[in-house]
């Protein structure tokens, strides 16, 4: 038996633990997706005006 089969057997024997594992993975994957979406929309999109890639700075 490979490691996948033994992992599935362990998850089948303890449904409470399985639920916690699946819920934790789901929340982690969802949070990762939200984080990258926010970072992409805030940092990587150009500014919504002409020459948005040139940010003015004060001397």
Give CA–CA dist 21/10, Å, rounded: 12
CA angle 23, 29, 33 (to 5 degrees): 145
Tens of pLDDT, residue by residue over 1-58, are 688 898 888 888 988 988 998 999 999 999 999 999 988 888 776 667 676 666 666 6
Instruction: Cite the DSSP H helix spans in 1-59.
Output: 3-13, 15-39
Model confidence, pTM: 0.58
């Amino acid at each position: 038996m490979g490691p996948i089969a033994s992992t599935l057997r362990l998850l089948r024997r303890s449904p409470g633990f399985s639920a916690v594992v699946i819920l934790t993975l789901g929340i982690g994957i969802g949070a990762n997706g939200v984080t990258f979406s926010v970072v992409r929309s805030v940092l990587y999109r150009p500014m919504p005006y002409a020459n948005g890639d040139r940010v003015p700075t004060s001397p």
